[in-house]
Structure 1
Amino acid sequence: MAKIVFDSVTKTFPTKDRKNRRNRSNRQEFTALDGIDLEIEAGEFVVVVGPSGCGKSTLLDLLGGLTRPTSGRILLDGEPVTGPGLDRGIVFQQYALLPWRTALGNIEFGLEATGATRRQRTERAREFLDLVGLTGFEDRHPHELSGGMRQRVAIARSLAYDPDVLLMDEPFAALDAQTRESLQDELRRIWQRTGKTIVFITHGIEEAVYLGQKVAVITSRPGRVKEVVRVDLGDRATGATGEDLRSSTEFARHRHEIWTLLHDEVARARQLEKEEVAV
């Protein structure tokens, strides 16, 4: 049985007709996701990629239990997802750290709901600071850390209470290219070490290929699963000849395959935006 199952999941939001805002009878529906079917196995690293506005973040919110599907169902270990839970950790694009707490204190905060003693929280927080390479920065506050370091703290906080599934919503999008690539490597190492099931949202094709075992390509709005691409790059540390993975022939082939799938969807998304502006 798959770890996560999206079964004909549709999500709509109520809207109002722009020309008749005062007339309640003109309420309409905005469909963000339409009939999503997707299965994710335990321990898989799955990346979801699609054009802006296709419903990627909505999909993650549904899996996180932050909102409910309009129709269809989402199963985690065979049980319906009905709300947030400690079995899922979430890392957002914005770090969402508590500015008055240190790096160690922010990680401990994520453990307070587990019932662990203060000593247990501190020991586990130090363990996960070490896992993300921040030993020695325990007493630094968020404003004393770089963007990459803050995101490492956010990842450590989400992992510290040992969720089965890690949900990541474009966590590296706001970082510079060098920091982003460094954290991609760090995340792969953490995934290989912990064996967590990871669902990672991005709009970057190269990031999707570099990280994902499977890449789910989402259509322009309303979002549907266009295709699931299996990425086989062999040894993820280096290419077959010892070159950087991103320079390998297989990487280029997968990148082109996903780019081809996305090309028309991005064009449709832009056309939809133009039509909406014109209304």
Structure 2
Amino acid sequence: MSVLDRPAFEAAPEAVPKIRLEHLGKTFAVRGGESFAALDDIGLDVADGEFLVVVGPSGCGKSTLLDLISGLTKPTSGQVLLDGVPVTGPALDRSVVFQQYALLPWRTAQRNVEFALEARPRLDRLGRRARAERAREHLALVGLTGFEDRFPHELSGGMRQRVAIARALASDPKVLLMDEPFAALDAQTRDGLQEELLRIWQRTGTTVVFITHGIDEAVFLGQRVAVMTSRPGRIKELVDVRLGDRTADEDVRSSPEFAAYRHEVWSLLRDEVTTAARLREVVSVG
């Protein structure tokens, strides 16, 4: 049975979750001494090896949630636990892939991947030749064999994002955090990278938390889809998605099951999108 056929969230009840969010909240100060709550009382467990997708209306705090898990931002209330240990800041056991590729333009694809290895002491001790080999292996993992010596400006947007994914995985993180990584790509490239990402996840077993605005993307990728409310962001509902092996040749996106899950997620989101739009109108008028 493949990883895709075994929902990771069916872990034994006594198992410590890979990620646990306990009463997580984040409030930001704004001008005039005011403040607004971006997130409020988030409670969520992510099992080891699970692929969780978070979807919600614009401004609901999805990216803030990812920042808190990565340790780039500190919570106002509650805590994030990784393997039962509180997250107190960024660490090399969590890799982040952003919408913008954030590649070093003066380095080749291979040297960009090697950069992640140089930043991790255990891997930096491999030596230059071993680091280069590991970088080539991870570029092959994302389908970029033969492009090792290309600079970012010589690669398409989809290829650059593949390099970013290879760099994130090369340091062997416990958790891969992805903030709308395919949003800027054309539809055909995006669909292809979604399938490639599932294959990579299936091979590596890395725990993935993926942020998106797209309902189709959420249903296609996620073992579970966490639907967030409008601001302040809370977890409205968790949807279990059981579509079997989505990397098979059959067109899962055209199946009745896919359409049913898509409808379920949209039904949960519809009111939240409307509320978020009203909040933006109030802010713009004010």
Please give the range of the TM-score, normalised by the shorter of the 2 chains. Answer: over 0.9
Look up the match of 2:18: 3
2:79 paired residue among 64, 73, 76: 73
Conserved? CA contact 2:101–2:160, under 8 Å: yes
The residue number in structure 2 matching 1:12 is 27
Amino acid at match of 1:8: H
Aligned pairs (5 A) from 1:131-150? 131-150=141-160
- Equivalent residue in structure 2 for 1:57, among 34, 58, 63: 63
Q: Which of residues 264, 277, 282 is equivalent to 1:270?
A: 277
Contact map agreement 2:199 2:247 (CA 8 A) in 1: no
Pairs within 5 Å for 1:1-279: 1-17=16-32, 27-115=33-121, 116=124, 117-238=127-248, 243-279=250-286
CA distance in 2, matches of 1:33, 1:114: 32
Aligned-pair CA distance for 1:134: 0.3
Corresponding position of 1:21:
none
Write the deviation string for residues 159-212 of structure 1: whole angstroms up to 9, x where unpaired. Answer: 001001000000000000000000000000000000000000001000000000
Residue 235 of structure 1: how far off its partner (Å): 2.8
Q: CA deviation at 1:234?
A: 2.0
Contact 2:95–2:175 (8 Å) recurs in 1? yes
Contact 2:57 / 2:272 at 8 angstroms: preserved in 1?
A: yes
Alpha-carbon offset, residue 135 of structure 1 = 0.6
Task: Check whether the contact 2:198–2:247 (CA below 8 A) recurs between aligned residues.
Answer: no
How far apart, in 2, do the equivalents of 1:235 and 1:106 lie? 32
Gaps of 5+ in 1: 18-26
TM-score (norm 2): 0.92
1:256, CA displacement in angstroms? 0.2
How high is the TM-score relative to the length of structure 1?
A: 0.94
Structure 2: any 5+ residue segments left out of the alignment?
A: 1-15
Letter in 2 for 1:195: G
- Give the ranges of 4+ consecutive aligned residues of structure 1 lying more than 4 Å apart after TM superposition: none
- Taking the aligned partners of 1:85 and 1:172, their CA distance within structure 2 comes to 24
Q: Equivalent residue of 1:215, what SS? A: strand
Instruction: Give the match for residue 10 of structure 2.
Output: none
> Separation in 2 of the partners of 1:61 and 1:6?
13
